[in-house]
Every structure is written in structure tokens, then in C-alpha cells.
Amino acid sequence: MVMNTKNVLKCVFAFAILPTGICTVRTPAVNPSILAQSKPIGDCQACKVFVESFKQGLERTARGKYEGGDAAWEEEKLKKSYKRSEMRLIDIQDGICKDETKHSVQCHHMAEKSEEFIEEWWAQDPDESTDLFSYICVERLKVCCPTHHYGKDCTPCPGNHENLCSGNGKCRGDGTRKGNGTCLCDAGYTGENCDHCDIDYYQMYKDSAKIVCSQCHFSCTGGCRHGTQRDCVACKAGFIFDLDEGCLDVNECEEPNKCSKDEFCMNSLGSYACTACDKSCKGCHGDGPDMCRKCAKGYSKKGEFCIQDREDEDQSEKLTHTRYMTYIGLLIATGILLPKSTSLGSLVGAMVLSYILGAEYYCMINGHTGLVDLKDFDLMQLFHY
Ligand SMILES: *[C@@H]1O[C@H](CO)[C@@H](O)[C@H](O)[C@H]1NC(C)=O
């Protein structure tokens, strides 16, 4: 009974603990809402987000609130009065920034700052009201500028507005109250007007208005003429220059003793990596228990694999011994009892016999000895013959 209670407790423990363990593993470790907010945005961007949200509110409420009125004429009349009503503004403001998941904090902040200006705008004649973005973000809150204007006073970006920064960059602060109007070039371009190729890029095309630069081959360093490994000015570390082939990868793993003796070497373009051998190996030429040079202590070679020596083999043998000793003990006890009382003796004898038969049968169907044999059997050997 003590054993049973213990086992029951074990089961309860297992069922109570295991699921929580599994669930903990499955729960994501990163807060998704913080991940979504990872990139902070400037005031002008926040104002744009707010204006977009307000426009969505206008759309949402465009069909009026009194759909399904008693009569068509009544509905029409109510719709008209709702269009520029305080009530519609409140309906819009109730839903403001609600669909905004990434920048909801900044959006609400802008909504608060622009509240009085929104009311001003709302009071204008609807047919004459200026563009909401210009009115709120550029004119009133002064956080944005019109396109191709920058800085505190919305100075026009220098140069030809049709082809700012040669089309390969943007004017710093474009559309915002920030920046100094100089060019911020795209990757691969440099120069005041983004009309030169950056280091490790080469000129693919150029005319009076346009320049196109392209990246050198990844084995190059210090620039190139064209895009292949033959056009490099010099080769990156991990590559050697070949007169016919250009920059070629060096296979570092061909050099002896690149990694320590419990690691194997893996070549990669321009580099190599040392990775620890499988724990069943003592030295290896690749990953996994089938790539060992020798087996580690406690493991032995079975076919291609290094397999852990079974410790419970002894234990299972011990258990079998104990079982047989129990049978002998019981039989001896029956033997002692039998001459004293035939009826009691034969009863006990029958019980002992059925116990032994039951126990052996139980062992057989649970595959106690059989399972051990199966596990020991090397399946891989089957495929070798
Ligand atoms: C403009 O701003 C950039 C980056 O903020 C800076 O690197 C650059 O020197 C500035 N240029 C001038 C002319 O002020």
C-alpha cells in the first residue's frame, strides 16, 4: 500500500508539473507589444500617424449615425446635420489612435496637443477647409514641413527638387522641422550630392543626371573595376589571389590542427569555424555520433555510431536475480508449510504458483527482459549485410 501511495503521488506530481513545464517553454520570451514599438518616431511622424487615424475616423463616421431611420427623408436630414456636428467630432475622437498598435502612445500625445486646432479646423467651412495634415502638422503644431523642405523654418532643400541628391539619397530633415538639408546618401553612394561611388562599390552607369553604383564581389577589399572576383583591387582576409580565378577562398581546414582535439573544422567562404564534437566522441571529423574518430568514455562503437554503454543492464540483471530469489524463498516456505498442514500448505502452494506465473507473465508482456534485448540489438548492423 505504501508503494501504491507513493506511485500515485508520483503520478500526480508528474501530471501537475509536466504541463506547466511544457507551457513555460512555449510562452514567447519577448513582449510583442514592446517589440512592435522598437523604433521610436519623431514628432512629425507621430503627427502623420495621428492625422491618418483622424482620417480613418472621418471615413468611419461618413455614413452618419442614423442609418435605418424611420423614413428616407428623415435619415437624409439627420445625416446632413451630423456631418459637421460636435457629435461626429466626439465620435471620431473616441476612436482616435485605437487601431494604432505600434505608436499608440505618440499618437495619443499628438491628439492631445492638437485638440484645440482640430476644433478650429472642424469649425471651418467643410468645403473650404485646408488639408488636415498641412493645417495641423505644418501650420499649427509646427512639427512638419512641406515635402522637400527642412528645418525650423521649412527651408527648401538645396538643388533640383526633381533630382535631389542625384536620386541616390534624401535631403536631411526632408518634410520635418529637423535636419540641415545636406544629402543623406543611400548605401553605395557618397559625396555632397551622392554622385560618387562609395568604397567597395563600382560605377555601373553614369550620365549627366544619373549615376548607378553596384557592390563589388564579396571577396574584394579596397574597391574593384567590375562585379566579379577577378576585378578586385585586393582580396579580403581568408581569400588568396589567383591569376586566373581572382580571389579564391582559402580552405583553412586543410591546415593541420586548426581546431582543438575535441572539435571539428568547418570551412566557410572567407573563414572557418570550430565546432564541438558530439558528446559520444573523442575526436571527430563532423557533427553527430556517427562522425567520431574514437568513442568517448562510456560509449562504444556499434556500426558507425558511438552508443552509450547501458548502466541499467546490470540493474535489470540484478532485478531478475531478486525475482528468482523471491520465488525460491516462497517455494521453500511452501515446502516447510506443506508437511505441517496439507490443506493450508496446498492452498499457499497454489497461491505461490499463481503468483509466480502472474509475475512472469507480467514481466513478459511488459517486455522487461525482452525490451533490454531489443535495445541492445544494433539495428544499423542489419543494413550492413
Ligand atoms: C548636417 O548634419 C549631419 C548629420 O546630422 C552632419 O554630419 C553634417 O556635418 C551637418 N552638415 C552641416 C553643413 O552642418
Predicted confidence (pLDDT) per residue in 96-120, tens digit: 999 888 899 999 999 999 999 999 9
- The pLDDT confidence band at residue 220, using thresholds 50, 70 and 90, is very high
Mutate which of 171, 178, 180, 193 for ligand 1 pocket (most atoms within 8 A of beta carbon)? 180
Q: How many angstroms does the Cα of residue 193 sit away from the middle of ligand 1?
A: 13
- What is the per-residue pLDDT for 311? 67
Phi, psi of 200, rounded to the nearest 5 degrees: 70, 15
pLDDT above 50 (res 24): no
For the ranges 79-93, 97-111, 350-364, the lowest mean pLDDT is seen at 350-364
- Complete DSSP assignment for 50-92: HHHHHHHHHHHTTT-S-TT-SSHHHHHHHHHHHHT-HHHHHHH
Q: Measured from the CB, is residue 102 less than 6 Å from ligand 1? A: no
Tell how far the Cα of 179 is from the centroid of ligand 1, in angstroms. Answer: 8
SS (H, E, C) 119-158: HHHHHCCCCCCCCHHHHHHHHHCCCECCCCEECCCCEECC
What is the Cα–Cα distance from 35 to 116, expressed in whole angstroms? 33
Minimum CA distance residue for ligand 1 atom 2: 180
Cα 136 to ligand 1 centroid, rounded to whole Å: 28
Identity of the highest mean pLDDT range in 13-17, 30-34, 75-79, 285-289: 285-289
Decide whether any atom of ligand 1 lies within 6 Å of the 182 Cβ: yes
Looking at per-residue confidence, does 250 or 40 come out higher? 250
Alpha-carbon distance values, 296 to 115, 173, 246, 300 (Å): 73, 63, 44, 8
Ligand 1 mean position to 76 CA, how many Å?
Answer: 57
Least confident of 133-137, 245-249, 273-277, 364-368: 364-368
Highest mean pLDDT among 60-74, 112-126, 302-316: 112-126
Least confident of 62-76, 100-114, 169-183, 292-306: 62-76
Q: What are phi and psi of 352, to 5 degrees?
A: -60, -45
For cell 510583442, name the residue: 32
Instruction: Judge whether residue 375 has pLDDT over 50.
Output: no
Q: For ligand 1, atom 10, name the residue with the nearest CA.
A: 180
Closest CA to 161 of 171, 176, 153: 171
- Best residue for ligand 1 mutational test, from 152, 174, 182 (most atoms within 8 Å of Cβ): 182
172 Cβ closer than 6 Å to some ligand 1 atom: yes
Q: What pLDDT does 90 receive?
A: 94
214 lines ligand 1 (CB under 6 A): no
Mean pLDDT on 137-162: 96
Map residue 339 onto helix, strand or coil.
helix
Given the CA of residue 180, which atom of ligand 1 is nearest to it?
1
Return the pLDDT at 343. 81
pLDDT tens by residue, 253-266: 999 889 999 999 99
* pLDDT higher at 371 or 40: 40
Q: How far is CA 286 from CA 266, 281, 296, 300, 334, in A?
A: 8, 10, 15, 18, 62
Percent of the chain with pLDDT over 70: 76
Burial 159-175 (b: 16+ CB within 10 A, else e): beeeebbbbbbbbbbbb
Q: How far is the CA of 182 from the centre of ligand 1 (A)?
A: 7
Instruction: Identify whether the C-beta of residue 291 lies closer than 8 Å to the C-beta of residue 278.
Output: yes
- In this prediction, residue 356 carries a pLDDT of 77
Q: Is the pLDDT of residue 231 over 90?
A: yes
* pLDDT band per the 50, 70, 90 thresholds, residue 69: low
Q: What are residue 292's phi and psi, to 5 degrees? A: -75, 145
- So what's the pLDDT on residue 5? 45
Are 21 and 13 a contacting pair, CB within 8 Å?
A: no
Mean pLDDT of the chain: 82
165: cell is 541628391
For residue 98, the model assigns a pLDDT of 92
Please state, in angstroms and as integers, the Cα–Cα distance from residue 229 to each residue in 69, 86, 213, 247, 318, following that order. 75, 69, 17, 5, 68
The alpha carbon of 12 is separated from its chain's Cα centroid by a whole number of angstroms, namely 35
Is 151 touching ligand 1 by the criterion CB < 6 Å?
A: no
Name residue 231's amino acid. D
Q: Could you tell me the distance, in angstroms and rounded to a whole number, from the CA of residue 163 to the centre of ligand 1?
A: 20
How many angstroms does the Cα of residue 183 sit away from the middle of ligand 1? 9
pLDDT confidence of 175, banded at 50, 70, 90? very high
- 264 - beta bridge partners? 275
Q: What is the pLDDT of residue 93?
A: 94
Residue 190 beta carbon below 6 angstroms from any ligand 1 atom: no
199-235: buried (b, 16+ CB within 10 Å) or exposed (e) per residue? Answer: ebbbeeeeeeeebebebbbebbbebbeeeebbbbeeb
Q: Is 158 close to ligand 1, i.e. is its CB under 6 Å away?
A: no
What pTM does this model have? 0.59
84 C-beta neighbours (distance < 10 Å), count: 14
